[in-house]
């Protein structure tokens, strides 16, 4: 699954917001195990497991766009549009809102 979101923020500010939200999510969802989280410049990789379901992905911040790619398990494919919608809503609310 690939999600592209347009933005008009400074890349450094945007990356700081993303990292802050990752930390908040760890605190809010102790049932989610973060197995990998690595950041370098304006990109990162992540892997998480919840209820036996593993999701891996990448995030890249460009000058005017954020690109998130996530490998979702086959069993979640029927729910991909709902997952996408929730992600876009939460990302916009928590990170892109100025």
Each residue's pLDDT tens digit, 6-46:
999 999 999 999 999 888 888 888 888 888 999 999 999 99
In the chain the domains, ranked by start, together with CATH numbers, are 2-96 (3.30.310)
Please name the residues in contact with 38: beta carbons below 8 A apart, sequence gap of 6 or more: 44, 45, 46
- 70 φ, ψ (degrees, to nearest 5): -135, 135
Report field, pTM of the whole predicted structure over 0.85 = yes
- pLDDT tens digits for range 37-91: 999 999 999 999 988 889 999 999 999 999 999 999 999 999 999 999 999 999 9
Other C-beta atoms closer than 10 Å to the C-beta of 40 total 7
CA distances from 7 to 13, 41, 46, 61, 90 (A): 11, 17, 21, 9, 14
């Amino acid at each position: 699954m690939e999600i592209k979101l347009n933005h008009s923020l400074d890349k450094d500010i945007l990356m700081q917001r993303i990292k802050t939200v990752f930390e908040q999510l760890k605190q809010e969802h102790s049932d989610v195990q973060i197995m990998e989280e690595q950041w370098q410049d304006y990109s990162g990789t992540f892997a998480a497991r919840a209820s036996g379901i593993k999701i891996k992905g990448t995030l890249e911040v460009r000058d005017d766009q954020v690109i998130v790619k996530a490998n979702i398990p086959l069993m979640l494919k029927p729910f991909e549009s709902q997952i996408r919608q929730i992600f876009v809503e939460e990302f916009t609310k928590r990170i892109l809102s100025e």
